[in-house]
Amino acid sequence: MIGPSRWVVPLAIGATATAVCLSVLASWQRGGALAERLVWVATGLVLVLCAHLLPALIRDARPAVRGMVAVLWLACMVTACYGHLTFFLLAQLRAGEQRAASVAAPTPPLERNLTAVMAERATVTGQLARANARGCQRDCESLEALRVTLAAKLDALNAEADEIRRHQATNDRAMAQRDAMATDPVTARLAGLLGTTGARIDLLSGLAFAAVLEGVACLLWTVGLQSRPQAPDPLLRPAPINRSHASAPASQKVVTNSRRPEAPPVSSLVGMKSGYTDADVAQLAQDIAAGLVRPTVAEIRRHLGCSQARATALRRQVAAICPAA
C-alpha cells in the first residue's frame, strides 16, 4: 500500500504542470507576433517555477538571504496569479460567447423606424381632422373619398407602428436572453445575492482560484523536497544474538581471543577522527541494539544532532565494533 507521503511529489508535479499550462495559454494570448508570444511564455514559465520552488530551495539559507528571496517570491506569486487570472477571465468570456451564440440572433431592423411612422401618422391624423371639419357644399363625394382614404392610411400607419413595436420587443427579449446566457449562472446568482456586478465576482473568483493553485503547489513542493530518511542498509540490519555464544564459559572466550593478535580497535581510530570517544560509540551501539535507533546515517544524525559526515563515521564505527549491527 502506498503511504500518504508518496503522493506529495506526484501532486506537486500535477499542480505545477497545471499552473504552467495556464501560464503558457495566458502568455500566448497576450503577445501579438510569434517572438512576443515566445518571450511571454518563457517569462511566465520562469515566474511560475520560481513561485513554486523558491520556498523549498531557500529553507536552509541564512535569514538575510531568506528575507531577500521572500520579497522576490512574493513578486513571483503576484505575477503568476495575474497570468492565471488573465486566462480565467478570457476563458469565461469565450464560454459566455459560445452560450450566447446558441440563442437566436435579433432580426434586422425594419425599413422605417417608429419615429418616422409616428410622424407620418400625426400628419395624416391632422389631415383627417381637417377633412372631417369641412362642410359639404358641393362635390361631397370627393370629400367623402378623401376622408375614407385618410382613415385607411391612418389604420395602415397604426398597424405599421404596432409591427415595429412587436419587432423591437422581440429583439429586446433576444438581447436580454443573450446577455443572460453570456453570464455564468453561478456568477449571476452570486452577484445578485451580494448586490454587486458579475464582473467583480468573476475577478474575485479568478483571483481565488489562482491563489489557491499557487499556494497548494508551494506547500506540496516544500513538503516533498524536505530531507527524507534514507532506507536502512541491508548490511547493517540488527541480527539476533546467539544465546549459545553469549552463554559460553569465560575460559573459552579468553582462549579464543588469545589466538588473535592484539590490535588497536577500529572505533578508537575512527573516533579520534570524528571527535567522538569510545564511550559515545559504545552508547550508540547499545541504543541500536535496544532498538532505539536504526543503524542508518539519517537516524544517527537525527538521534545525535550531528552532521552527515560524523553520522557516517559513527555508523562505520558501530559496524566495526558490532558487525551484526
Domain boundaries of the chain, sorted by first residue? 4-104+185-224, 114-182, 230-243+265-325
pLDDT of residue 249: 46
Q: What is the pLDDT of residues 57-76, one digit of tens each?
A: 887 788 888 888 899 999 99
Contacts of 107 (CB under 8 A, 6+ apart): 167, 170, 171
With 80 as the cut, is the pLDDT of residue 229 above it? Answer: no
What value does the mean pLDDT take over residues 159-172? 90
With 80 as the cut, is the pLDDT of residue 8 above it? Answer: yes
Q: Are 217 and 84 in contact (CB under 8 A)?
A: no
Residue 291 pLDDT level (bands cut at 50, 70, 90): confident
Q: How far apart are CA 85 and CA 93, in angstroms?
A: 12
pLDDT of residue 176: 84
pLDDT of residue 18: 94
Q: What is the pLDDT of residues 84-106, one digit of tens each?
A: 999 999 988 888 888 888 777 77
Q: How far apart are CA 53 and CA 219, in angstroms?
A: 9
Q: Are 217 and 12 in contact (CB under 8 A)?
A: yes
Please indicate whether residue 161 or residue 291 has the higher confidence score (pLDDT): 161
Please indicate whether residue 50 or residue 258 has the higher confidence score (pLDDT): 50
Please indicate whether residue 144 or residue 109 has the higher confidence score (pLDDT): 144
CA 72 to chain centroid? 19
pLDDT of residue 262: 45
pLDDT of residue 276: 60
Q: Are 217 and 21 in contact (CB under 8 A)?
A: no
pLDDT of residue 190: 87
What value does the mean pLDDT take over residues 12-23? 93
Percent of the chain with pLDDT over 70: 82
